[in-house]
Amino acid sequence: MTQEKFPARLHILIARKSQKALIIRRGPSKQTCIIGWDRKSNSFRVSQWLKGRIYERRSDISPDGKYWIYFAMNGQWGRGVGSWTTIARVPWLKAIAFFPKGDCWFGGGLFVNNNSYWLNDGPYGHDFELVFDKNNYHFFDTKAVKRNTNYRPPNYYGGECLNVYYNRLQRDGWKLIESSEKAYLNSETIFQKELSKQWMLQKICHEQVGSPPGKGCYWDEHIVYNQTGKLLVYPDWEWAEWLDKSIYYAENGCLYQVKLKSSNQLSEPRLLHDFNNYTFECKQAPY
C-alpha cells in the first residue's frame, strides 16, 4: 500500500522590528529545512537542513532578526543527545549556544528583546548547566545574547509546544478569545487579531490526539471576517499573519499574500513562493 504524500508543512517566524523572517519547512516528516525570507524584496534563501524535527511552536526570532531559538529532536537517544535547544544566527542552524535536553518535555524559548532570551525549561526553572554534564553533553552558551533567568512569560500552558507558542502569539498582538474542550484529548484555543476597523483574523489552534491526516497533534486553521457578517473560513491555512497591510498565509506548501480590497472583499491571492519541490542538501553555516 502506497503511503499518502502530503505537501510541505510551513511555519514562519517574523522579526518584529526588521524585514527578516524565517521559514521552517518540514517534509518529508523526518527532514526540516530552514529558509531565510527577506520581506522587503520577497526573496528566499535556503540555509541548512536537519535530519530530524524542529518544533516550530517552541521557536522564536529576535526582534531585529539577527538570532533565533529553536528546539530540535533527531531521536538518537542511544548515540547522542536526542533533543536539544539552540541559539543560532539567522537564518542558520549552527549553534552559538547549545542546551542538550534528552527528552521532549519543554525546550525552546522566547526572545525577551534583541539581547536576551528566556529558556522554556519548566515551571521550576531548572538550569540546563546543572542538569547536564557539560563534558558529556557539550553544553555551551554565547555572549552575543544572554539568558534572562528572571523573566517568566505571563501565562503557563504546560510542558510542550503551547507554553512558547501561545505566549508568543499574545506577545505579537493576538488576543486570546476562548479555549474549549470539544471532546476527550481534543481542544480548541481561539486567538484574534484586528486588521482594520472592518476586518478581523481568527486563528483556531487545535490540540488534538487523532488529528486529520497530514497534521500533528497541534495544528491551526483560520477565519477572516468583517463587521458586515461576511465570514471566510480557511481550514487549509496552516499559518497566517497580518503584515504590511496584507494577510500572508501558508497553504499546501506555498506562501501567499492577500490584501483587504474593500469593506467586504479580499483581493485574489498572490503566490510568493512554492516550497514543495525542495530536496535535502548538506550545507555549512558561514560561521
Helix (H) or strand (E) holding 160: none
Helices (H), the chain: 128-131, 134-137, 162-171
Cα gap 189→45, rounded to integer Å: 33
pLDDT at 75: 83
pLDDT digits (tens, 9 = 90+) for 34-44: 999 999 999 99
Q: Which helix (H) or strand (E) holds 114?
A: none
pLDDT at 134: 45
C-alpha cell, 5 = 504524500
Q: Is the pTM of the predicted complex or chain greater than 0.75?
A: yes
**How confident is the model at residue 130, as a pLDDT?**
40
Instruction: Let me know: does 232 contact 221? Beta carbons within 8 Å.
Output: no
Instruction: Please give the single-letter amino acid code of residue 219.
Output: W
Q: What is the pLDDT of residue 102?
A: 81
Residues (pLDDT < 70) of the chain are 1-4, 78-80, 123-138, 263
pLDDT digits (tens, 9 = 90+) for 88-127: 999 999 999 999 888 889 999 999 999 999 999 876 554 5
